[in-house]
């Protein structure tokens, strides 16, 4: 069933599905090995009860209510309850450090905090818990680590739902989303309900979604990418969402969900690729794929083992994927569609169309989006998902917008003859070597990323004679080195050859002196990656640039830290 009306807000859409498909399962949540489900009617009942309770607290309308926790069914229900009670959701990344969490709670004037799934192992709870103000009211969702606060289940069990709560207006402020902060303090991006639902309405044609679709939610809902692709689309189209319990159960959770639409980031697409190749080497795949009947059987089996055999639309975003990996998925029958957007336009900017993918490009403008390239190469976008501005920061809002209403994305790009956009780096990522030459690191990183043993790359070298690259090995490669199935000497030779091949494609001033294999893993938790797994270039450079002079004196093409 396709929606036949355009709902004014996501709350209207949610209640529409609760009325028209009350017994259909909306949310499926695993917890400690047990799986629970919630129908649209059950969700609406809980949301109305919690909204009634929040309304009874007497907070001024439009108050900021914080929402902290890893993805769960009740994260989405809490979001809806905040909206239905007339307030504004301020999501906090579960991996935040205490200092940043404290800044957001204060900057957004958060009056109440709802705490969900946190454990201090896969998130920043141990760092966040001590900074929570003693006078800040708290509510705990299921899987909340605090047992001494009001609990969602207790509240909805005793509160009778008001059926006449006022539904939000499209122009009302819905959420303040704090940027992941690859540099400096995060900025609070304000979005109204009209902007959020415009994403779903605009993607209706691209996704061709229906209420029979299924998605797995595991990327942080606190970020607009997951909130737009999973929460927003599910509420608009009325389809089911499944959740992952954690990394250890991810494959089982994926098999349970059997998603028809799967949204991921390059790091996971690469992990899938490497995992399959470990069990079935590429050379053997090529031989099997040349046998007509057997080829189809093997490809279907690979997709089935990944949990993606029912997937009709696979979406990738946040960074480029190496062309060989894109082609590998295409050979399996899964065309990865690149999408592009920012927190400031609720992720609604560009997307690839089936059958029109150009590798290395993020697609063409979404419906009602305008795009142009500024004189300095910066991508400028005007989108129906555009923010109202930065919360309590009109100066920064004015700085990031053109006079005619285009958002300055900070990305450099080029547009081809069919209107498809290629991101060629960040405007501020350009660095100058000691020879006075500017280097754009992203295109070089893309060339280096084709090596299957490398998971993350950072090309750097400001004030150095020539650039150099930092390579982070994949966990699988580290394990192979430890077990002895991968030879350190052979890997060094591989990287020397990779360096030679990539340098041959670069201008003289771009050619790298050497590459460094770093010993540490760069993660969200230790601050090297943003919640969407982009590198924090300034953090990485602060850590490694002081060693550059010593690495040069080694006169080695491959340096092992």
Q: What is the DSSP string of 40-57?
A: HHHHHHHHHHHHHHHHHT
Among the listed residues 462, 405, 389, the one whose alpha carbon sits nearest the alpha carbon of residue 428:
462
pLDDT at 437: 85
Q: Are 438 and 430 in contact (CB under 8 A)?
A: yes
CA distance 74 to 186: 25
Q: Please report, for residues 279, 286, 434, 437, 553, the alpha-carbon distance to residue 550 in angstroms, rounded to integers and kept in the order given.
A: 40, 44, 16, 22, 5
pLDDT at 374: 96
- Lowest-pLDDT choice from 106-120, 231-245, 268-282: 268-282
Give 432 or 15, the one with higher predicted confidence: 15
pLDDT at 472: 96
The tokens for 528 are 């090297």
CA distance 58 to 48: 16
pLDDT digits 0-9 by tens, 494-526: 999 999 999 999 989 999 999 999 999 998 888
| Model confidence at 181: pLDDT above 70 | no
Q: Are 115 and 140 in contact (CB under 8 A)?
A: yes
Quote the crossing angle between the two packed helices 73-84 and 40-56, to the nearest 10°: 50
Strands 431-432 and 438-439: what pairing? antiparallel
Among the listed residues 64, 268, 73, 95, the one whose alpha carbon sits nearest the alpha carbon of residue 177:
64
pLDDT digits 0-9 by tens, 69-105: 999 999 999 999 999 999 999 999 998 989 999 999 9
Q: Are 48 and 85 in contact (CB under 8 A)?
A: no
List where CATH 3.40.50.980 sits in the chain.
10-242
Dihedral sign for Cα atoms in the order 157, 161, 167, 172: negative
When mean pLDDT is compared over 71-80, 201-210, 312-321, the highest value belongs to 71-80
pLDDT at 4: 44
List where CATH 3.30.300.30 sits in the chain.
430-560
482: left (phi over 0), alpha (psi -120 to 50) or beta: alpha
pLDDT at 346: 97
The DSSP line for 264-320 is E-HHHHHHHHHHHHHHS-HHHHHHHHTSHHHHHHHHHHHHHHHT-TT-SEEEE-SSP
CA distance 179 to 103: 13
Is 430-560 assigned to CATH 3.30.300.30? yes
- Lowest-pLDDT choice from 43-57, 198-212, 273-287: 198-212
Q: What is the value of pTM for the model shown?
A: 0.85
| Model confidence at 318: pLDDT above 90 | no
Name the one residue in this structure whose structure tokens are 């360096």: 499
Quote the crossing angle between the two packed helices 73-84 and 10-20, to the nearest 10°: 110
A 10 A CB-CB count for 99 gives 11
Give residue 370's pLDDT band: very low, low, confident or very high (50, 70, 90): very high
Q: Please report, for residues 61, 97, 105, 117, 132, the alpha-carbon distance to residue 100 in angstroms, rounded to integers and kept in the order given.
A: 26, 6, 9, 19, 12
Through-space distance between the first and last CA atoms of the chain, rounded to whole angstroms? 56
| Model confidence at 3: pLDDT above 50 | no
Give residue 275's pLDDT band: very low, low, confident or very high (50, 70, 90): confident
CA distance 79 to 523: 27
DSSP state of 485: S
Q: Are 241 and 26 in contact (CB under 8 A)?
A: yes
Average pLDDT over residues 179-197: 84
Average pLDDT over residues 318-341: 89
Three-class SS state of 37: strand
Mean pLDDT of the chain: 93
Give me the CATH topology for the region 10-242: Rossmann fold (3.40.50)
Give residue 270's pLDDT band: very low, low, confident or very high (50, 70, 90): confident
Helices (H) and strands (E) in the chain — how many of each?
A: 20, 27
| Model confidence at 182: pLDDT above 70 | no
Burial class from Cβ neighbours inside 10 Å (0-12, 13-18, 19+) for residue 484 reads exposed
Among the listed residues 164, 178, 214, the one whose alpha carbon sits nearest the alpha carbon of residue 55:
164
pLDDT at 1: 41
Average pLDDT over residues 101-117: 97
pLDDT at 469: 97
pLDDT at 183: 53
pLDDT at 278: 86
Q: To the nearest 10°, the Cα dihedral for 217, 221, 227, 229?
A: -30
CA distance 65 to 137: 10
- Lowest-pLDDT choice from 18-22, 111-115, 421-425: 421-425
């Amino acid at each position: 069933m396709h929606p036949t009306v355009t709902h004014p807000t996501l709350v209207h859409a949610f209640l529409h599905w609760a009325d028209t498909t009350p017994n259909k399962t909306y949310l499926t949540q695993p917890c400690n090995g047990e799986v629970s489900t919630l129908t649209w009617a059950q969700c609406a009942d809980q949301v109305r009860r919690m909204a009634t309770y929040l309304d009874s607290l007497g907070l001024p309308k439009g108050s900021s209510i914080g929402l902290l926790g890893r993805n769960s069914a009740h994260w989405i229900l809490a979001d809806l309850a905040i909206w239905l009670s007339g307030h504004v959701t301020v999501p906090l990344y579960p991996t935040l450090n205490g200092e940043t969490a404290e800044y957001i709670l204060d900057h957004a004037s958060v009056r109440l905090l709802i705490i969900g799934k946190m454990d201090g192992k896969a998130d920043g709870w141990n760092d966040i818990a001590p900074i929570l103000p003693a006078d800040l009211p708290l509510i705990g969702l299921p899987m909340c680590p605090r047992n001494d606060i009001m609990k969602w289940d207790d509240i909805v069990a005793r509160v009778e739902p008001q059926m006449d709560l006022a539904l939000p207006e499209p122009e009302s402020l819905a959420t303040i989303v704090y940027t992941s902060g690859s540099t400096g303090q995060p900025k609070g991006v304000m979005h109204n309900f009209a902007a959020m639902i415009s994403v779903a309405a605009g993607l209706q044609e691209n996704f061709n979604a229906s209420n029979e679709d299924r998605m797995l939610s595991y990327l942080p809902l606190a970020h607009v990418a997951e909130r737009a692709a999973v929460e927003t689309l599910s509420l608009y189209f009325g389809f089911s969402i499944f959740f992952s319990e954690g990394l250890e159960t991810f494959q089982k959770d994926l098999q349970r969900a059997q998603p028809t639409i799967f949204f991921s980031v390059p790091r996971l697409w690469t992990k899938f690729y490497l995992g399959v190749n470990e069990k079935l080497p590429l050379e053997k795949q090529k031989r099997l794929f040349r046998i007509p009947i057997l080829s189809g059987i093997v490809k279907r089996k690979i997709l089935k083992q990944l949990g993606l055999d029912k997937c009709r639309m696979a979406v990738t975003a946040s960074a480029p994927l190496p062309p060989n990996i894109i082609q590998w998925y295409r050979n399996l029958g899964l065309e990865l569609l690149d999408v592009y957007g920012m927190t400031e336009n609720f992720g609604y900017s560009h997307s690839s169309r089936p059958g029109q993918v150009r590798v290395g490009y993020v697609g063409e403008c979404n419906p009602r989006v305008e795009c142009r390239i500024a004189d300095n190469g910066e991508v400028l976008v005007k989108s129906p998902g555009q923010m109202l501005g930065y919360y309590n920061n009109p100066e920064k809002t004015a700085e990031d917008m053109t006079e005619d209403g285009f958002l300055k994305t900070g990305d450099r790009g080029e547009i081809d003859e069919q209107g498809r956009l290629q991101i060629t780096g960040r405007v501020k990522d350009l660095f100058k070597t000691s020879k006075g030459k500017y280097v754009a690191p992203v295109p070089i990183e893309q060339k280096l990323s084709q090596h299957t043993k490398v998971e993350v790359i950072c090309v750097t070298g400001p004030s150095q004679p020539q650039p150099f690259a930092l390579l982070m090995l994949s966990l699988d490669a580290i394990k192979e080195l430890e077990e002895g199935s991968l030879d350190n000497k052979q890997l060094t030779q591989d990287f020397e050859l990779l360096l030679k091949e990539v340098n041959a494609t670069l201008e003289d001033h771009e050619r790298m002196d050497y590459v460094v294999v770093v010993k540490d893993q760069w993660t969200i938790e230790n601050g090297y990656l943003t919640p969407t797994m982009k590198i924090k270039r300034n953090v990485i450079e602060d850590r490694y640039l002081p060693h550059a002079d010593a690495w040069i004196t080694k006169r080695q093409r491959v340096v092992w830290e």
